[in-house]
Amino acid sequence: MIEMDTTIPGAAPEVVRAFKVLNKNGIHARPAALLVDIASQYSCEIELENNGNIASAKSILSVMTIEAIPGAMVTVRARGADAHHAMEALAQLFEQAFQENSIDGSEEDMEPSEE
């Protein structure tokens, strides 16, 4: 995972990170919905890119058009006042394989444990 802050002085903050799609089915409808739900909580502009295809992270149809298959490297670009917070939330989703089985066979779970 690579993170770059590409903010130009006087411009809105911009954060760019690349993530590997770790879940074994790629970004299909359910992971896309999770991604859109998280992205929609932030006011910043968020884009995803895979193989030259760019999508708004706030539109489920747009997200599904990037065809992010298992193992794909997806670049996420967040631009705006809350870009860093949005990126942290999205990073957690990618790192936890969208709450699905990962391509290495392990099952990821984002749900907090009950104590």
Residues designated catalytic: 28
Let me know: does 18 contact 102? Beta carbons within 8 Å.
no
Nearest alpha-carbon partner for 16 in 26, 4, 25, 27: 4
Strand arrangement, sheet containing 53-56: 2-5, 14-20, 73-79, 45-50, 53-56
Let me know: does 15 contact 4? Beta carbons within 8 Å.
yes
Judge residue 22's burial from the number of C-beta atoms within 10 Å of its C-beta, 0-12 exposed, 13-18 middle, 19 or more buried: buried
